[in-house]
Amino acid sequence: MKLQIQNNFTTELPADPNQTNVPRQVHQSAFSFVVPKKPTNPSLIHASIDVANAIGLSQDDILSTDFLNTFSGSIIYPGTKPYAMPYAGHQFGNWAGQLGDGRAINLTEVVHENKSYTLQLKGAGPTPYSRTADGFAVLRSSIREHLCAEAMHYLGVPTTRSLSLMLSGDQVLRDVLYNGNPAYEKGAIVCRVAPSFIRFGSFELFASREDHDNLKLLTDFTIKHHFPQIQKEGVEKYLAFFQEVTQTTLNMIVHWQRVGFVHGVMNTDNMSIHGITIDYGPYGWLEDYNSGWTPNTTDNQHKRYRFGNQPEIALWNLYQLANALYPLINDAKPLEAILEAYSTDYEKEYLNMMRDKLGFQIKKNQDVVLIQSLTQLLEKVETDMTIFFRNLSNVSKADAATTAFNTIKDAFYNEKDLDETILKDWHDWFEKYSIRINEETLSDSERKNQMNTVNPKYVLRNYMAQLSIDDADKGNYSLLNELFEILKNPYDEQPNFQKWFAKRPDWARDKVGCSMLSCSS
Ligand code: AMP
Ligand code: MG
């Protein structure tokens, strides 16, 4: 197995001079060297061939002992020096101080076909940033990360990738429901892949300590290596950087809203500087379209990170990043201008995204109202988001409102919920929708094809992930493998997998892991 190694981060940024691996505050350093804990009996459960190819590895490499040893943390790949990064963050709106890679260890950067990637093990043991926790990860959360990161990629949502999922062979103690019932679970290790794992919180850490030298070093490094298109200098450079992060973050959120993804823990330490989805913890997929929904039980009271609040929270997080970058800019006005533009830009992008979902190529002013009334209707009774939008593409220009309505009827969880008023509202909506699609130039089948590129047929429904976890826990990985394959082509019909194009079964409604998830992982 041959990787093309590069060590820009550890060569150009300051290292923690202290190499003892105990929890502590680390100052004036961008990283601490740390060695993964050797797992007792590692075994490969699954690897993503596309990610392997992207970093220059083949199917044979995946099956090699080098691969097993390297990506389980058993050996250190020649020429590399693993490290963990400190960062800070706002958690649930509150300043949390120093956090950092508590159970993530960056192995190295690799270069392939002129692209560079950082490879990071998650769950490979403690680091100076582990605080009171153990540095390990359990199988259930690792399956969720591996499957979802890749599913998101194939949906076209910017995301970190997942190269591999391994069992460590060790047991890890977790209290899943935080109710005083800890139990041993199988330990697992995922290898995540991204341009870098620099987060909003990486900048917040230096800024909070008024360590402006390192704040500048980190920002200059990030721009030089990851935003090479920015060719400006001084204040202009930093503003262009902030502008780009704002734009890519906004773009990511529009995608989340398009596919019905709820991140669950949008703390600033979980916001990638690349505008890619990072840290798959208690995330969930909207089944019932409900803007107030969050899967994260820790957030049950305020629902800060609910589906409908994600755009607002991204902006809140961008304010924190702006504050952190302020010492490099020393002028609030241009930062505020970028932040103020976010809301109008978001509205515009959201509108266009929804037009795509509805099959509108022509932009009409009345679309705003049509979309608003649709989302209001979707909230009225339990309606499956994925099935609704996928089936909507079967509506024809010639259909009467009733026929059109029947096309999407499968999306309702309980038809009995549809009282007369709601039925009438749907009827009215479909009458307007019919007029609207008749203004389009595309034929029915052309519109359907276009809609099917933005409305997935298959998403990683919460219960699907949980079923594969239940099986995997017993050593059966066939469902995990099957889900991985289906989710590679989420927009394709894949009639063989039709059974996964179905509403959440009733047993999953209130089951832990399906509709309720804690941060325990
Ligand atoms: P999260 O909520 O998963 O984003 O984690 C918040 C912080 O807690 C990060 O600094 C993580 O690295 C750290 N953390 C989470 N789980 C563990 C663990 N099992 N061991 C050590 N640190 C952890
Ligand atoms: Mg995190």
In the prediction, which pLDDT does 516 show? 81
In the prediction, which pLDDT does 513 show? 84
304 is in an annotated binding site: no
Instruction: Assess contact for 268 and 320: CB atoms under 8 A.
Output: yes
Q: What is the DSSP string of 52-111?
A: HHHTT--HHHHTSHHHHHHHTTSSPPTT---EE---EEEETTEEEEE---SSEEEEEEEE
SS3 for 471-517, per residue?
Answer: HHHCCCCHHHHHHHHHCCCCCCCCHHHHHHCCCCCHHHCCCECCCEE
Instruction: Give, in degrees to the nearest 5, the angle at Cα 196 between 91 and 83.
Output: 85
Q: Whose CA is nearest to atom 23 of ligand 1?
A: 102
Place of tokens 């755009």: 311
**DSSP code, position 14:** P
In the prediction, which pLDDT does 126 show? 98
Ligand nearest to the CA of 87: 1
Ligand nearest to the CA of 520: 1
Instruction: Assess contact for 176 and 518: CB atoms under 8 A.
Output: yes
Ligand 2 geometric centre to CA of 269 (Å): 6
Place of tokens 């009995």: 416
What per-residue string of b and e applies to 403-421 under the rule 16 or more CB within 10 Å gives b? ebbebbeebbbeeeebeee
345 is in an annotated binding site: no
Q: Which helix (H) or strand (E) covers residue 32, if one does?
A: strand 32-33
User: What is the best residue among 26, 37, 99 to mutate for testing ligand 1's pocket, by most ligand atoms within 8 Å of CB?
Assistant: 99
Q: Which helix (H) or strand (E) covers residue 392, if one does?
A: helix 385-392
Is any ligand 1 atom within 6 A of the Cβ of residue 138? Answer: no
Distances in Å between the alpha carbon of 137 and those of 121, 150, 160, 269, 443? 10, 19, 18, 18, 50
Domain boundaries, the chain: 5-197, 201-356, 361-441, 462-508
Would you state the structure tokens that stand for residue 60, as one six-digit string? 């044979």
Instruction: Assess contact for 56 and 5: CB atoms under 8 A.
Output: no
In the prediction, which pLDDT does 260 show? 98
Q: What is the DSSP string of 284-320?
A: EE-SB--TT---BGGGTTT-TT-GGGHHHHHHHHHHH
Q: How far is CA 217 from the centre of its chain?
A: 28
Is any ligand 1 atom within 6 A of the Cβ of residue 101? Answer: yes
Ligand 2 geometric centre to CA of 193 (Å): 15
In 176-322, where do the E strands start and end?
183-194, 261-262, 284-285
User: What is the best residue among 22, 121, 131 to mutate for testing ligand 1's pocket, by most ligand atoms within 8 Å of CB?
Assistant: 131
CA distance linking residue 496 with residue 213, whole number of Å = 57
Ligand 2 geometric centre to CA of 270 (Å): 5
Instruction: Assess contact for 463 and 508: CB atoms under 8 A.
Output: yes
For residue 252, the one-letter residue type is: M
Ligand nearest to the CA of 197: 2
Q: Whose CA is nearest to atom 18 of ligand 1?
A: 135
- Mutual orientation of helices 332-358 and 385-392 as an angle, nearest 10°? 60
Q: Which residues pair with 318 in a beta bridge?
A: none
Closest ligand 1 atom, residue 265 Cα: 2
**DSSP code, position 457:** S
Residue 488 makes CB contacts below 8 A (sequence gap 6+) with 150, 154
Place of tokens 């429901």: 177
In the prediction, which pLDDT does 427 show? 98
pTM attached to this predicted model: 0.98
Which of 284, 287, 295, 270 has its CA nearest to residue 518? 295
100 is in an annotated binding site: yes
CA distance linking residue 25 with residue 309, whole number of Å = 33
Residues carrying an active site annotation: 269
Would you state the structure tokens that stand for residue 289, as one six-digit string? 């379209």
pLDDT tens, N- to C-terminus, the chain (521 residues): 999 999 999 999 999 999 999 999 999 999 999 999 999 999 999 999 999 999 999 999 999 999 999 999 999 999 999 999 999 999 999 999 999 999 999 999 999 999 999 999 999 999 999 999 999 999 999 999 999 999 999 999 999 999 999 999 999 999 988 889 999 999 999 999 999 999 999 999 999 999 999 999 999 999 999 999 999 999 999 999 999 999 999 999 999 999 999 999 999 999 999 999 999 999 999 999 999 999 999 999 999 999 999 999 999 999 999 999 999 999 999 999 999 999 999 999 999 999 999 999 999 999 999 999 999 999 999 999 999 999 999 999 999 999 999 999 999 999 999 999 999 999 999 999 999 999 999 999 999 999 999 999 999 999 999 999 999 999 999 999 999 999 999 999 999 999 999 999 999 988 888 878 888 88
CA distance linking residue 498 with residue 493, whole number of Å = 8
CA distance linking residue 420 with residue 455, whole number of Å = 29
Q: Which residues pair with 167 in a beta bridge?
A: 43, 188
Instruction: Assess contact for 264 and 305: CB atoms under 8 A.
Output: yes
Is any ligand 1 atom within 6 A of the Cβ of residue 134? Answer: yes
For residue 443, the one-letter residue type is: S
In the prediction, which pLDDT does 518 show? 84
Residue 124 makes CB contacts below 8 A (sequence gap 6+) with 36, 37, 39, 72, 73, 103, 104, 105, 135, 136, 189
Ligand 1 geometric centre to CA of 246 (Å): 25
Is any ligand 1 atom within 6 A of the Cβ of residue 103? Answer: yes
Ligand 2 geometric centre to CA of 62 (Å): 27
Which of 190, 92, 103 has its CA nearest to residue 141? 190
Cβ < 5 A residues, ion ligand 2: 270, 279
Is any ligand 1 atom within 6 A of the Cβ of residue 174? Answer: no
